[in-house]
Structures are given as C-alpha cells and as structure tokens.
C-alpha cells in the first residue's frame, strides 16, 4: 500500500492508493482510497480517531453503473476552482441561491416559486438550531456509515481535513458543478449545518451526498424551515424530485439522513 500523507494511518488499512487531481494539477495527493469495498467497522474506527489523526473518512460511491469508479479514479477531481470556505457567509449564500440576482419576472417567479409554497420569492431565512445531546452527532454519523456499508458497494476514502465539509474541498469534489462551481460555498453551508443541526458528511458520490442528522424534525412545521435551505442548496431536490417543498419536507420528518442529488 502506498500511503500519501505525513501522518501515519491511525489503524491498519486495507490495500489502497493515493489519488491526485486532474492532469496538470501536480502530483500532490488529494485523498487515499481503498482498492475494494470498505471493511465493516473501519469507517467508525477512523471517525473516532479523526480528532487525533486529522484524517476525515468518507464512504465513496461511484457514478451509477460506472466501471471506472467516477469521479474518484477517473481524473475528475480538482481543487483549482475552490475558494476558502471560511470566506463565505452561509446565510448570504443561501439567500443568493434562493433569490438569484434579486430580480424577478412576475410570471416566471410565480411558476418557479409555486413549488416552494408556503414560501415565495423572498428568502425565508435560516432555520433555528437544534439542541444536540452530547456525542449524538458522532454516534449518528457512525450509525449511518454502518447502514450504508451494509447495502451499497462503497469504498473508503481518507482526506486530511478538519471536518467532512472541508474534506469535500480538500479532495477536489465537484458534484454540484451545474448548480455551483465553487465547492467551498457548498462546504460553507454544510459546515454551518454541522454547527446548527449536527449534520456530518458520511457518503459522497459522483453528484450525490449523504449527511447524518442526529435530531431530525418531528413535525412538518419543524421540517419546512430547513427544507427551504435544502431547496436553496440543491433545487433539484424539489424541481426534479419531490415536486414541492411541502412534499419534500414530509420526507424529512423523522429522517436521520439527508440525501442530496445535483443534475
């Protein structure tokens, strides 16, 4: 096994390899990936060791039915387009995505925002933070990883990063490219969700993302405010998925998993 980082792996790892960015971006490794499916229990061990190792574990999923394990082994990772997540205000980003340019054609706005009732063209604001029991966020992330490994063909990835949100930037992922080409902006919102909701990045696919949620909304009224944030971050969830904000909010009630997909 070729190990690419200065810090030693905190636990024994299966066979794997370092992955670099797109051609022309140098040879500095962005992440390490296992050669085969992630062994059961290893994600949890690495997640527990993260505060000391600085290596964030990811479950990596390829594009559906793809034999090249895109984008992880196909040379499609790039950090050149990314800015610094710390330089972005999450609330301002969500407002900007909800209210592009701050200008609306009345007829277009009516059609576009009909699916986002009970909200309209004006950004409704951030959802309130939830109260998190001690260690609940970590426990939920480990539980979701265990479930995902049992039902999906995923590999293990390790990225030097302080959190799952920052790992998306560090590894050069560009899944939301058709919505936002600066992954640092997506990461800034995800980092804010970690603070407010205890959300943690567990699995990343070609254009998909799965987060663990320790305290999900218990009612539709509780689910609607965070659902508006989801619609701003990933409008495909509504317009090419559930069809309406309310229908999507119903899916969030009681769900410990937030799944995102960008076209």
If we measure between CA atoms, which residue out of 128, 109, 123, 130 comes closest to residue 231?
A: 123
Structure tokens at 156: 């293990």
Per the structure, how many domains does the chain have?
1
If we measure between CA atoms, which residue out of 108, 118, 208 comes closest to residue 154?
A: 208
pLDDT of residue 11: 95
Owning domain of residue 76: 16-87+126-261
Peptide bond just before 134 cis, omega within 30 deg: no
- The rounded distance, in Å, linking the Cα atoms of 85 and 128 is 22
DSSP 242: I
Helix (H/G/I), strand (E/B), else coil: 257: strand
In this prediction the pTM is 0.94
Based on its alpha-carbon atoms, the radius of gyration of the chain, rounded to whole angstroms, reads 18
Average pLDDT (56-64) is 95
Domain assignment present for 37 = yes
Structure tokens at 163: 């959190």
If we measure between CA atoms, which residue out of 125, 145, 132 comes closest to residue 198?
A: 132
pLDDT of residue 252: 97
pLDDT tens per residue across span 73-97 = 999 999 998 999 999 999 999 999 9
């Amino acid at each position: 096994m070729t190990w690419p980082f200065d810090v030693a792996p905190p636990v024994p790892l299966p066979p794997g390899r370092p992955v670099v960015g797109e051609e022309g971006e140098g040879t500095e490794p962005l992440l390490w990936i296992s050669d085969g499916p992630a062994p059961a229990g290893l994600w949890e061990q690495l997640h527990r060791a993260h505060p000391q190792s600085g290596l964030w574990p990811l479950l990596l999923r390829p594009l559906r039915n793809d034999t090249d394990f895109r984008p992880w082994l196909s040379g499609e990772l790039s950090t050149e387009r990314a800015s610094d997540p710390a330089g972005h205000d999450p609330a301002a980003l969500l407002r900007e995505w909800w209210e592009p340019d701050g200008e609306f054609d009345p007829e277009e706005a009516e059609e576009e925002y009909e699916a986002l009732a009970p909200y309209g063209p004006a950004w409704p604001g951030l959802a309130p933070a939830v109260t998190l029991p001690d260690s609940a966020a970590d426990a939920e992330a480990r539980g979701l990883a265990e479930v995902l490994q049992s039902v999906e063909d995923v590999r293990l990835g390790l990225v030097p990063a302080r959190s799952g949100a920052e790992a998306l930037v560090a590894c050069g992922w560009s899944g939301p490219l058709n919505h936002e080409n600066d992954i640092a902006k997506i990461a800034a919102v995800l980092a804010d969700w970690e603070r407010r909701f205890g959300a943690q990045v567990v699995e990343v696919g070609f254009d998909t993302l799965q987060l663990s949620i320790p305290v999900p909304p218990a009612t539709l009224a509780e689910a609607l405010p965070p659902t508006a944030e989801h619609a701003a971050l990933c409008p495909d969830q509504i317009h090419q998925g559930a069809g309406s904000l309310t229908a999507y909010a119903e899916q969030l009630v009681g769900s410990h998993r937030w799944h995102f997909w960008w076209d």
